[in-house]
Structure 1
Amino acid sequence: MQVMKKEGEWLVARLTAADAAVPIGNLLREGWKLPRKQVHLLFQHKEVLIDGQPVPQHFTGKEGQEIRLHMCKPEPLGMDPVDQPVDVLYEDDHLLIVEKEAGVLLHPTEPHHHLTLDHMVAGHFFRTGQQAKVRHLHRLDQDTSGVVLYAKHPWASAILDEMLRERDIKRTYVAFVHGQLAKDSGKINEPIGKDRNHATRRRVAPNGDAAVTHYTVRQRYRNSTLVECRLETGRTHQIRVHLSHIGHPLLGDVLYGGKRDLISRQALHAEVLRFEHPFGGQSIEVRASLPADLLDLEKRLR
């Protein structure tokens, strides 16, 4: 998609020759991947403008004409903002990427949770005057550190959700695991389901959801290994379950057989997020360096 800019409550772009080849309604639904319900409401409320004038769904534009979509209406944050700084790695009109510290919940799961990453993002929006709902696109476990992606408006959320499903957003993690992996790289293709004997634990199960993890050894130590993991799917605890399944649980991950003699949390970090920007096409690569506790672990292992 061509570059789309935010002007107040409107998203603005210029129609290309390809855009002008189809009716505007088809362009929004099929070309630009807006949800059908959202498209219907935009036209119903006369919130699709070509050169400043409302147009019907069957209208066909011309190359170079300006299109405006009323897509950025003020929204409630969805939760109370907190006055706690958040580490912003990338931000524009459409999305926000931040770094989560280990030990911080991503979102509230109990009524008494009032200091999650979502609350911190709400605080960032509040301080910067952005009236946008807090929408995280994927999750990290409480004790996993690293990059998290947020959408700032419904269209961005819909497109980025689809990109995640289609594996167009590449996520790279690093993990310190027990033992020496036999191969320098490999693929773990094992379905993951709930463990009937434990409320939060997952396990490899024949009737579970498909799950695929690719791994590459980055560094070998005496009794452990630093592994890079790339996800094709995003199952709960996927990396932790898969590496434990092949006999190499994460250091510190007692839930899946790891030991806490060197670190008090699972040694897992979401290092890189890489994708093509849905509103402009430029390549986005955001990297979060190893946090202090994993740097200290690395030094001790060396």
Structure 2
Amino acid sequence: MISYKIRGDYAELTVPKKWDKYNLESLLKDYWKAPKKLVHDWRMSKSILVNGNVPNWLATLNEGDRILFPFFTEEKPEVEPTFHELEVLYEDDHVIVINKPAGTDTHPSSPEQNHSLLNYVAFYCLSNGEVRKVRHIHRLDKDTTGAILFAKHAFVGSLLDKMLEERKVKRTYLALVHGHLKQKKGTINQPIGRDRHHPSRRRVSPSGQAAVTHFEKIKYMPTENMTLISCQLDTGRTHQIRVHLSSIGHPLAGDTLYGGMPIFERQALHALTLEFIHPITEEPIKVYAPFLDQPPIFPKMG
């Protein structure tokens, strides 16, 4: 674990033994793989201090050195902060995980929209004295519920974006699909592209973007003729789980856009868990998102 203290706009990180082969430049560029522009800006503005002094960026760091990083410099929110009750599943100085309800967009689709989850998280941070340009790290469809990750500052946002790209942010979904899915587990590896006949639909298409969905059967419910499954994604294409499961003849219950029956008011898809190694503290984080639907859509897991 990497320990730190808050010093105003700064995080003071104590150099662990494993960093003593790095200098400040290689720590940022090679260890953290931080964005070049951000590193350049910090270097030119002399914003980073080591042991209270403007450092030589090429000098080797020593265990116990104290580095001040300007992580928490105020940034004006890029969206209009809007009050709305939130279920916070995990929060620290760098990240926040929200349990997203159905019927809410992850982010605004136009500048005048102010009722997305991003607007609500911006207000939440502002109300806690954190003037932040919060960033969503991934998205959930408007009517998908569950855990969604936001970054509170640019540096951690860039690290999490890279982790997501490298599949180091693990997301597990629950889905209720029509019919008896007989396979115990499987992988759908089919590219996804736009449906030229419908503005919001996607479809399996040879010319689409690569998309990989892994699924595992949890249980079949013969009375309802539905199967409860878990899914994990190697990619994050729009409507990926919905398109892939429909393509094998098992659309999500309630997902009328992709062939599901309208037995629920939304598609039966929930982001149950979110797992990652915290990019700053290096602690393993695993977050569970309780079900939100009333009456419940998903059966009890026991």
Q: Please state which band the TM-score falls in when normalised by the shorter chain.
A: over 0.9
Moved more, 285-294 or 102-111: 285-294
DSSP 3-state at the match of 1:80? coil
Moved more, 71-80 or 44-53: 71-80
* Separation (CA, whole Å) in 1 of partners of 2:56 and 2:44: 9
- Residue 163 of structure 2 is aligned to residue 172 of structure 1: no
Q: What TM-score results when the alignment is normalised by the length of structure 2?
A: 0.94
* Separation (CA, whole Å) in 1 of partners of 2:197 and 2:134: 34
- Residue 193 of structure 2 is aligned to residue 199 of structure 1: no
- Residue 267 of structure 2 is aligned to residue 266 of structure 1: yes
Specify every segment of 5 or more residues in structure 2 that has no aligned partner in the other structure, as ranges: none
The root-mean-square deviation of aligned C-alpha atoms, in Å, is 1.5
Query: What is the deviation of 1:84?
Result: 1.6
* Separation (CA, whole Å) in 2 of partners of 1:286 and 1:258: 29
Alignment partner, residue 187 of structure 1:
187
Query: What is the deviation of 1:65?
Result: 1.0
Do 1:193 and 1:209's aligned partners in 2 also have CA atoms closer than 8 Å? yes
Alignment partner, residue 236 of structure 1:
238
For 1:253, give the aligned amino acid: D
Query: What is the deviation of 1:2?
Result: 2.2
Do 1:71 and 1:154's aligned partners in 2 also have CA atoms closer than 8 Å? yes
Q: What does 1:248-267 align with in structure 2 at a 5 Å threshold?
A: 248-260=250-262, 262-267=263-268
* Separation (CA, whole Å) in 2 of partners of 1:250 and 1:202: 15
* Separation (CA, whole Å) in 2 of partners of 1:80 and 1:112: 9
* Separation (CA, whole Å) in 2 of partners of 1:157 and 1:112: 24
Runs of 4 or more consecutive aligned structure 1 residues displaced over 4 Å after TM superposition:
none
Do 1:263 and 1:297's aligned partners in 2 also have CA atoms closer than 8 Å? no
DSSP 3-state at the match of 1:53? coil
Q: Tell me: CA distance 1:187–1:5, structure 2 relative to 1, closer, same or farther (3 Å).
A: farther
Alignment partner, residue 279 of structure 2:
278
Per-residue deviation, residues 250-277 of structure 1 (Å, max 9, x unmatched)? 01111111110x2021111111101111
Q: What does 1:1-302 align with in structure 2 at a 5 Å threshold?
A: 2-222=2-222, 223-260=225-262, 262-293=263-294, 295-296=296-297, 298=299
Query: What is the deviation of 1:81?
Result: 1.7
Number of residue pairs matched?
Answer: 298
Per-residue deviation, residues 119-178 of structure 1 (Å, max 9, x unmatched)? 111111121111111211100111111111000111100110011001011000011111
Q: Tell me: CA distance 1:63–1:111, structure 2 relative to 1, closer, same or farther (3 Å).
A: closer
* Separation (CA, whole Å) in 2 of partners of 1:179 and 1:229: 17
Q: Tell me: CA distance 1:296–1:202, structure 2 relative to 1, closer, same or farther (3 Å).
A: closer
For 1:46, give the aligned amino acid: K
* Separation (CA, whole Å) in 2 of partners of 1:3 and 1:186: 41
Do 1:174 and 1:270's aligned partners in 2 also have CA atoms closer than 8 Å? yes
Do 2:134 and 2:153's aligned partners in 1 also have CA atoms closer than 8 Å? no
For 1:250, give the aligned amino acid: L
* Separation (CA, whole Å) in 1 of partners of 2:50 and 2:111: 46
Do 1:172 and 1:229's aligned partners in 2 also have CA atoms closer than 8 Å? yes
The percent identity for this pair of structures is 43
Q: Tell me: CA distance 1:67–1:263, structure 2 relative to 1, closer, same or farther (3 Å).
A: same
Do 1:17 and 1:62's aligned partners in 2 also have CA atoms closer than 8 Å? yes
Do 2:16 and 2:64's aligned partners in 1 also have CA atoms closer than 8 Å? yes
* Separation (CA, whole Å) in 1 of partners of 2:108 and 2:293: 25
